[in-house]
Structure 1
Amino acid sequence: MKKVLFIFSLLISVLVAKANQDERFVKAMEATLLQFREAKDLNAFQEIANKFERIGNSEPNEWLPNYYGGLVYTIMAARVEASERDKYLDKADVFVEKLEKQISNNDEVEVLKGQVALMRISVDGQSRWMKYGQVFEGAIAKAKSINPENPRAYSLKAQNLFYTPEQFGGGLKNACPEIQKSLEKFAGFKPASSISPNWGEGEMKALAKKCQ
């Protein structure tokens, strides 16, 4: 009887410790995501990327810190001159490599891959489309196949069309249907948790105004 009680007490202790660890992880992520939403300059974004990396190192079984670390670097790349973007995208790819070892067939990870590829194209669309265009299209197609309701897969496709010249199949006219489709997906989207990916709607609403 004493042995059974000891094992039961030990099990309860383990479960409580795990719950406390999970709570600390969620709180750390929520605090860093709040800073992420409020960041204004490259220094702030760099600090946030570093925080996500530290959380990821301390929680090697959690994929979201690496996801957001990569996402931050794509945003940093978007805020600098084209000649400087690759150095940030190289760092984003480091997080993508970590994610590929952690998790497979994840639509949000595929969207992140698409985001990195799209930013690579933005450096020099004419010379890079052949290489990174295939990566982008493949990642978005896979994201949609995994989860057809993920609005970010549609929003990235819309952005790509919007910024692609009309003579190459892009432009506002071709982007507007995809923009509308992404907004329809956002309308029905609910993130799985307080720290799950939930970005992109604002950008689509801004582009939708141009369609009017």
Structure 2
Amino acid sequence: MTSEESFSWQEPRNSVVRGAFVVVEGLDRAGKTTQVQRLCSKLYALGHNIKTLRFPDRNSTIGQMISSYLQNETDMDDHVIHLLFSANRWEKAKWIEETLSKGYTIICDRYFYSGMVYSAAKQNPSLSLSWTKHPEIGLPLPDVVVFLDLEPWQAEQRGGYGEEKYEKREMQLRVRELFLQLLKADDGRMKIVNAGDGMDAVEERIWKEVLPCVEAVEGGSFGVKIGKFKG
């Protein structure tokens, strides 16, 4: 059950202050999609109201342009593709806020953190990490971000590696470095999880980081208001 529709066939089962916004980030082939599925299933089984989201959302016109770029079918200027990725997130901003307000917890596979670090990792002098943050200012802010940390050489050993544009060791090394840089400057929202072990062990580590946050948000400890990214 990885698609949004898998958890959206009924109205919220429990009354909560608002849903939590949970983002799962990581290097390519770190197991994000599998862990999002497992996390959703466990939360849903406990009675939480769950919906899922994945970026890029390749269903929209903008998403289809991004997909073509990632599959090496088209080429674009670095700034253009970054702004398309950002626009793709903005397409879902209102939906995120409305869904959280209705009491659904959203589990999101990648968000603007990936957008910023993957663009900055290209080492384009005019596309710094600071520059990449500006188009994201004002987007809904996650309540917790789990970063699945994986050595690039480990990612290379996993199935399907190298099929898309950014799946190259040098690029992944820079992406990891920038993610860790964000972690150092973070306010505690981002949690690092070692993704190099078996799926079950990784699942338990994620669970320990996410469940307390979800329960606190739904219980009102974080307040009704949904935060905004300030850069």
TM-score class normalised by the smaller sequence: 0.3 to 0.5
Name the structure with the higher strand share: 2
Q: What is the TM-score when the length of structure 1 is the normalising length? A: 0.34
User: Larger C-alpha radius of gyration, 1 or 2?
Assistant: 1
Q: What is the TM-score when the length of structure 2 is the normalising length? A: 0.32
Name the structure with the higher helix share: 1
